[in-house]
Structures are given as structure tokens and as C-alpha cells.
């Protein structure tokens, strides 16, 4: 397997921290043992945890006001995969990459698949794009795509999604994520029922093209780019569309796609209860779809979401949603943010395994609100960093990914080897 960070350098970087980690880990083991948890079984589950990296997240992102390109930015999908391999090598929690088409459209899918395989990277859910017009495109998506009033525009969008599925099949992906910005900016501009009906017909046609072992993930979003109504505006519209479309059509929850303070963990519970919770785009936000690093603003919400997921898995161990990060890194090194965010999502997962569910159920049944919330906080307040560090160490990663990455000078090397392409605007989201 190709590894872009010298493995000896990585081991040397770990060696300096191993004895401190061992004593922290043993102290935590003793503490968890007193509460009836076996740290090694928690460690094993931490090692299994994986979250996909968005290909569009390794470039520097921006806003409509500006984008400030970082040094040594990836200029094409191959350099994006190089960076994704470094994230996986050091974090050992991101073995798959989620592509966005046409941003990542390869000339030769096999060449791309082999390029990823050298890093032992696989492709996660594919993302279609009918929220931008491509050069030479017949029908514009200005007024929508799968829900457009024009059949020609809808057919064009359907054809694009089917093309993305066919490409994904060649790359070994097993899911299509469909997010459309379709909606309106003014009352009266769009007929709510007609546009939703158009969307349902379009989604059904795409669904019928899916291979039998694929899922389709519908992503809702409250606003942007539409500022009055969005066709798939909330979990309700997404659930209805998934239910109408078919068994393997599920809803995807992007954390940033809700109004501030919406109870997302309850949406997770509802969608799962009715068998329609298909996956996540993890990020964080304070106001809108800020796409900030996961756990950077509201880590307790991230924990509460995993508390629901672990409760769901305690009833159905086969339940395995698609986990992806979907972030825009405007002021940090994207590789650092993605490694740190993957660890924050993994941390929320591990803490959810340490909730005393028997006690919690008892407090819920006896309406002991104080002890119920205290039971959750008891797990949340645990410092489980030694488990995350031990998982990385034992899987060949870095005890401290960001520190190791900085010491490796990888970004500086990229800066030398990747002279900015003056014609390219960059690879992050603007
Ligand atoms: C829409 C979204 C969607 C992606 C895009 C890059 O806001 O979350 O998941 O297609 O970001
Ligand atoms: Mn998203």
C-alpha cells in the first residue's frame, strides 16, 4: 500500500507519546471497569468506526464574498485522493471518499479506481449535481432540475443522475446522494404540489435505474440557494418522497440543513423508527448551512445524535447508515480539519457506547428527569481521548494526527509540487 507520510517518521512521532498514552489508557480502563464497561470491547468498536471524506472538502472553501486559496491545493481528483490517503493514514477512521460529479468526473473510471486502491481507499456514496449549469448544457437549472416545470430540464437532470450511478458502479460505490436546490424565492413563484409531483416522478425514474444492491439517499435542506421555499425543505418532505419511491430510497440528514435549534436527534429517531434513516452529512453550524467542522460548535448535539443511533443499533445490530463529513474549510488546512472532525464524530460515537442504557430506561420509565439527563452527561463528560489515540496507534495511524501531519511538512511539499493552476478557480466549495 502506498503511504505518503513516511511510516518510520510516523512511528517515531508515536513512540514519544506511547508511555503517556498507556498510563492514560490504563487509568481509563480502571475507571470504565468500575462502571461495568470493558475498555477493550469499546476499543474494538472504535476501530470499526468509519466516516467518509467529501472529495470537495480537501480544497479550501469560500463564501459568495471570497475564497482565500490555501497553499498546495489539490488541482484534480488524483491530488484530492492523495490528500484523502493522508487523512486516512493518520486518522485510521476515513477509509472511503465520497465523490461529486461532475467536479470529480474521471476520463477513465478504472484508472481512478486503481489510483484509490493503491491507498486502500474505496468510494462511498456518489453525489450528483443539478444545482449548477455545465458549459454547453441544453437546459438551465436556474429554475430547478428534478422539480423543474419543464419536462426537458427534468429529463436532463434525470439522465445526469443515471450517468452518476453508472459511473459509481464502475468505481464500486453503493449509493447515490441526491441533493437539489430546487425551490423559489418569492411567494407564488412555484406551485408547491406540482413541483413536488415533478420531483417524485423524476426520483422514481432514477430509482428504477439503481442496481439492486444500491441505496438512494435524499438530502433535505431548509433554504439556500432558494430563499422562500425549497422542494425538499425538511425531513417530512424527504420522508414522504422516500416512502413514495421505494424500499431502498432513504433520507439523509445533513446537520447544517435545519433551522437553528431544531431537535435533529429527534428527527434521527423518527426517520429510523420508520425505516427511512439512510445516512448523514456531519458538520456543525451556528446560523445557516455554515458547514463548519463537526463538533466545533455543538458537540453535545453530535453526542445526542449518536446516542439515538446507538439506541437504534441496540435494537437492530444490522443497522448501518452511510456516515459522511460534508464541510467547507475556509480558514483552516482542510486535511487538519477533516482529520480532527473525523475524530470528533468517532468521539461522539464512542461516548454513546458508554451510556448506561439500563439506568437511562429506568429513569425514563420513572420520569426521573434529573437522573435521566445526568445519565447521558455521565457518558458525555468522560474523557475518552485515550481510546481514540489507542485505536489510531494500533491501526497504524498517528496518536496525534494534526501534530504528526504538521511535523511531516506534507503541506509544504504539496506547495512545491503543486504550482497553482492559474486557470482553475480551486477545488473547495464557494
Ligand atoms: C448542499 C450540500 C450537498 C452537497 C453540497 C456540496 O448544501 O450539503 O450535500 O451536494 O453541499
Ligand atoms: Mn450535504
pLDDT, tens only, 93-111: 999 999 999 999 999 999 9
Placement of cell 475507571 in the chain: 31
| Confidence check: pLDDT of 290 > 90 | yes
pLDDT at 423 over 90: no
Q: What is the pLDDT of residues 292-323, one digit of tens each?
A: 999 999 999 999 999 999 999 999 988 999 99
Pocket of ligand 1 (CB under 6 A): 56, 127, 179, 219, 221, 254, 281, 289, 326, 429
Give distance in angstroms: CA of 391 to centre of ligand 2: 28
Q: Is the pLDDT of residue 399 over 80?
A: yes
Answer whether 180's CB lies under 8 Å from 145's CB: yes
CA of 40 to the centre of ligand 1 (A): 37
For residue 365, the tally of other CB atoms under 10 A from its CB is 9
- Ligand 1 atom showing the smallest separation from residue 289 Cα: 7
Query: In this structure, how many other beta carbons lie within 10 angstroms of the beta carbon of residue 380?
Result: 18
- 101: its cell numbers: 460529479
Q: What is the residue extent of each domain of the chain?
A: 51-345
Output the pLDDT for position 218.
Answer: 98
CB 348 within 8 A of CB 305: yes
Q: Identify the CATH class of 51-345.
A: alpha beta
Mean pLDDT computed over 118-130: 98
Pocket-testing residue among 130, 164, 179, ligand 1, by greatest number of atoms within 8 A of Cβ: 179
Residue from 129, 281, 290, 292 whose mutation best tests the ligand 1 pocket (most atoms within 8 A of CB): 281
Length of the chain equals: 430
Edge-to-edge strand ranges of the sheet holding 175-178:
126-127, 175-178, 215-219, 249-254, 277-282, 322-325
- Distance (Å, whole) CA 11 – CA 181: 46
- Is pTM, for the whole model, over 0.95? yes
Q: Are strands 53-54 and 322-325 parallel, antiparallel or unpaired?
A: unpaired
pLDDT of residue 421: 65
* Cα diameter, the chain: 66
The average pLDDT across 7-32 equals: 98
Q: Mean of the pLDDT values across residues 160-188?
A: 98
Residues 283 and 348: their CA atoms lie apart, in Å, by: 13
Least confident of 81-85, 243-247, 302-306, 416-420: 416-420
> Which pLDDT band holds residue 160 (cuts at 50, 70, 90)?
very high
Question: Of all protein residues, whose CA lies closest to atom 11 belonging to ligand 1?
Answer: 326
Sign of CA dihedral 179, 180, 185, 191: negative
Tell me which residue has its CA closest to atom 7 in ligand 1: 289
Tell me the C-alpha distance between 59 and 429, whole Å: 8
**Mean confidence (pLDDT) of the chain:** 97
Atom from ligand 1 closest to the CA of residue 127? 10
Q: How many CB atoms lie within 10 A of CB 286?
A: 11
**CA–CA dist 249, 295 (Å, integer):** 28
What is the three-class DSSP state of 8?
Answer: helix
d(CA 421, CA 126): 26
All three cell numbers of 203, joined, read 426520483
Q: Which pLDDT does position 420 carry in this prediction?
A: 75
Q: Virtual CA dihedral for 213, 218, 219, 223, nearest 10 degrees?
A: 170
Please tell me the distance from the alpha carbon of residue 354 to that of residue 382, in angstroms, as a whole number: 9
Q: How confident is the model at residue 430 (pLDDT cuts 50, 70, 90)?
A: low
Cα separations in angstroms, 395 against 23, 48, 105, 319, 341: 19, 10, 32, 24, 18
Question: What's the Cα-to-Cα distance from 355 to each of 32, 170, 382, rounded to whole Å?
Answer: 11, 41, 10
Amino acid at each position: 500500500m502506498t503511504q505518503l507520510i513516511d511510516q518510520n517518521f510516523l512511528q517515531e512521532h508515536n513512540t514519544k507519546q506511547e508511555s503517556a498514552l498507556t498510563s492514560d489508557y490504563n487509568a481509563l480502563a480502571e475507571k470504565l471497569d468500575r462502571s461495568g464497561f470493558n475498555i477493550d470491547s469499546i476499543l474494538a468498536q472504535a476501530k470499526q468506526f468509519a466516516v467518509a471524506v467529501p472529495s470537495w472538502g480537501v480544497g479550501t472553501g469560500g463564501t459568495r464574498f471570497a475564497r482565500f486559496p490555501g497553499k498546495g491545493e489539490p488541482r484534480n481528483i488524483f491530488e484530492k485522493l492523495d490528500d484523502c490517503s493522508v487523512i486516512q493514514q493518520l486518522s485510521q477512521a476515513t477509509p472511503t471518499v465520497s465523490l461529486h460529479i461532475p467536479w470529480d468526473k474521471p476520463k477513465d473510471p478504472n484508472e481512478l479506481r486503481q489510483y484509490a486502491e493503491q491507498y486502500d481507499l474505496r468510494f462511498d456514496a456518489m453525489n450528483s449535481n443539478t444545482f449548477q449549469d455545465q458549459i454547453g448544457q441544453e437546459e438551465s437549472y436556474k429554475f430547478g432540475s428534478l422539480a423543474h416545470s419543464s419536462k426537458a430540464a427534468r429529463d436532463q437532470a434525470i439522465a445526469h443522475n443515471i450517468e452518476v450511478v453508472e459511473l459509481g458502479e464502475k468505481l464500486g460505490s453503493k449509493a447515490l446522494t441526491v441533493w437539489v436546490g430546487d425551490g423559489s424565492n418569492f411567494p407564488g413563484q412555484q406551485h408547491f404540489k406540482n413541483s413536488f409531483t415533478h420531483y417524485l416522478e423524476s426520483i422514481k425514474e432514477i430509482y428504477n435505474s439503481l442496481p439492486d444492491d444500491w441505496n438512494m439517499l435524499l438530502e433535505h435542506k431548509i433554504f439556500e440557494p432558494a430563499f422562500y421555499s425549497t422542494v425538499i425543505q425538511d425531513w417530512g418532505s424527504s420522508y414522504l418522497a422516500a416512502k413514495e419511491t421505494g424500499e431502498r430510497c432513504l433520507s439523509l440528514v445533513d446537520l447544517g440543513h435545519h433551522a437553528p435549534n431544531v431537535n435533529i436527534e429527534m428527527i434521527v429517531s423518527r426517520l429510523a423508527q420508520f425505516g427511512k434513516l439512510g445516512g448523514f452529512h456531519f458538520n456543525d453550524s451556528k446560523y445557516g448551512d455554515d458547514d463548519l467542522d463537526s463538533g466545533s460548535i455543538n458537540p453535545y448535539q453530535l453526542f445526542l445524535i449518536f446516542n439515538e443511533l446507538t439506541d437504534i443499533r441496540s435494537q437492530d445490530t444490522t443497522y448501518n447508515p452511510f456516515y459522511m463529513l460534508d464541510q467547507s474549510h475556509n480558514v483552516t488546512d482542510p486535511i487538519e480539519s477533516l482529520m480532527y472532525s473525523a475524530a470528533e464524530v468517532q468521539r461522539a460515537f464512542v461516548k454513546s457506547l458508554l451510556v448506561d442504557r439500563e439506568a437511562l430506561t429506568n429513569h425514563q420509565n420513572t420520569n426521573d428527569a434529573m437522573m435521566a439527563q445526568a445519565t447521558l452527561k455521565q457518558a458525555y463528560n468522560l474523557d475518552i481521548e485515550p481510546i481514540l489515540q489507542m485505536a489510531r496507534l494500533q491501526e497504524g495511524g498517528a496518536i496525534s494526527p494534526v501534530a504528526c501531519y504538521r511535523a511531516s511538512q506534507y503541506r509544504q511539499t504539496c506547495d512545491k509540487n503543486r504550482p497553482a493552476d492559474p486557470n482553475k478557480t480551486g477545488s473547495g466549495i464557494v
